[in-house]
Amino acid sequence: MAKKRAKSPNPKKPSSSTRKAKPKAAGKVKAKPTARAPQASGPPARRPAASPGASASPAARDVRRAERLRDDIRRSKMTHPDPWGGYTAKARRWSDRADQLVAEAQAGGDVRRAVDTLASEVEGDRDFQEARRLF
């Protein structure tokens, strides 16, 4: 930790006269200090994060996939061009199934096949595709 400097009894007052900048002599080149590391301006650079599925366990991937599917279904109910038609009932059933799968996956159950089945059903539906296009 740096030491604190003692305050001088006579603080310097700003001078009333302005100083003119001295012109630099042409031909002189200042040597750059080599002992210092270059200073970075701004925040330090971050390493790109690894994809969440790369290092996670299969159970954690199943939970994330089920949650993402559930969130996509819920979002599609809001973005569908005609949410009051037959799509809402269909999406509600999918959402309930996705909630159950999320709960099972969080409890440690093997839900990979069930998530795959629901995902293929949902993503194959024309209404869902239309709503997803509008996300």
pLDDT tens sequence across 76-100: 888 888 777 788 888 899 999 999 9
Q: Classify residue 92: in a domain, yes or no.
A: yes
- Which residues form the domain of 80? 55-133
Q: Classify residue 45: in a domain, yes or no.
A: no
pLDDT tens sequence across 30-76: 666 566 555 555 555 555 555 554 556 777 888 899 899 999 999 98
Helix-then-strand count for the chain, H and E? 5, 0
Give me the number of domains the chain comprises.
Answer: 1
Q: Classify residue 6: in a domain, yes or no.
A: no
Distance CA 135, CA 131 (A): 7
Q: Classify residue 48: in a domain, yes or no.
A: no
Name the range with the highest mean pLDDT among 15-19, 56-60, 128-132.
128-132
Banded pLDDT at 130 (limits 50, 70, 90): confident
Give the pLDDT confidence score for residue 134 in this predicted structure: 77
Q: Classify residue 121: in a domain, yes or no.
A: yes
Q: Classify residue 7: in a domain, yes or no.
A: no
Distance CA 59, CA 109 (A): 8
